[in-house]
Structure 1
């Protein structure tokens, strides 16, 4: 692709390979200005791309739908399907409905990021961008767009992410919570499922989806363990857990099994799979129940069901439990993930250990 200045005006050349791999060239001269030559060249490239690429004139929504369908048919987890569908319905349709995939520029994409960042955290924007970027990169590699519109874009957010120190309960609050939701009146009434899930996650640190997928057969009273082998998606289908390390068996305290026995003694009906939570797909009710109690009792931090997972891990760390064991108990892919999530607590622990070390060394005679 080149534009030349000649004695008789301007000339534009464009070399390309056709669909059979044969090199071809289009050329025209006699343009009065460089701008006219450039405009002609732009139209030539568009026409050639339309011939070479059937997706060139596709709307971004349609191109996204095609890639989403391919992604879903590849066998991704239901939670990933939900994430793609959410991006499609609440972002692609809203921000890209009138844009052809071939018309997407860095300026347009950055404008979207700037607008979407209002009211969202940078982490949320980043997660949405990752899905969109995978589709845009496909368009780039398909040759629909010649310049990557996501290159060097800036991802921001106007809403501050919740500080890690605010995602878990203090030890006394955690104990308060367990004591309250372990009462027989809580485990026998209409809120029994929510109450037991709160206690279960507070004691185990498992993910909400893992808890929802538990069956009676996963609870071993003799060995006092819980086997975590599946997770429930928002579509109600059980799949394998998040990572291979998420398939695990965890030891539970005897106090928990007394609560469990009380819970099932009041459970009059079971579904065909003997699921503890009767096939519930999401933890909406437990989250509401938990939040109401935290607000009513003026907890320092208002955490979600997932926050109980953080609270469990934070409590173990505060008691000096080895982080490698905590990582294994939580089902993290590797210990570095655990370290990155709880770095603030590890730093506090390091300061305490440092003080203990100096006191010990000062005692050497």
Structure 2
């Protein structure tokens, strides 16, 4: 078997790392950027931390700040039109997953206009040309969109989110500057932190996992286990570690895939507007329990990362239970919902959720092959 790994051309990490933005733009002979972000980041002054650098250097830019959470197809089309008209030759995706995913879709369509309907990008689209250059700058510590070949768009007409997987969309440059993630409110830190943990755990046990991906995923699991709660209390060093854990997990899962947690989380976003990290947090421990007998010895490593004493000495079924319990306990401690009913789901919505999750592109990567009825049962157990 062969394994493919795709990473950014260049990445910067550390406080003050955004100072490298303009020199990198100039070294790549780029002339103007469209900065894609959202209204909250614009209003709170986070966007200004980037535009101030561009202004000081006299580097031309325009801003598209109308990105909506779980960006819909219409949002992408609007941003594509702005990009066409403004004369930019590069994109900056500034924010969490929504602005960065929007930037990826815009960059791909700009270079491959035959996909202008956006919907046709679902799955592994046969794009011919690399995206226009994208610079990914995260302001949350969870999605890792700055280093992945994936992005997620919402088909509002059909109330569903769809995943696009395309090596052509990976940002050429990623800048992970914890100064930009410090200002996240506590709830967002919790949700995005659970998102990063989910990426790491699902990537660790997915069917496509191998030695290199295992090494980065276990690093990210340990970092999240040790730092997520501390980051919620304003510990700056822990917040910095979570920013790196998010990126490290993204390096892995982007290349080996995910599983049923994401397959079930996407419909919660598409049909109920549940924030992605919140949805992952609800589902992570229950799906881990569902997968336990298909995880080999790997839950021992997860239990040990969460500080379970004797994880490598106890019977395997006890170690697996301990790993699941540790993740469930963390979910409660950080204040994430634990029931799908808390994001608006009732009995009447279970069939549609199960149908969507069974068809989701992430679901086949799960270590245990799930049936549609089993997926429905998991949702039902969380009402």
Structure number, greater radius of gyration: 1
Does the TM-score normalized on the shorter chain lie above 0.5?
Answer: no
Q: TM-score, normalised by structure 1?
A: 0.26
Q: TM-score, normalised by structure 2?
A: 0.25
Which gives a bigger RCO, structure 1 or 2 (Cα 8 Å, sep 6+)?
Answer: 2
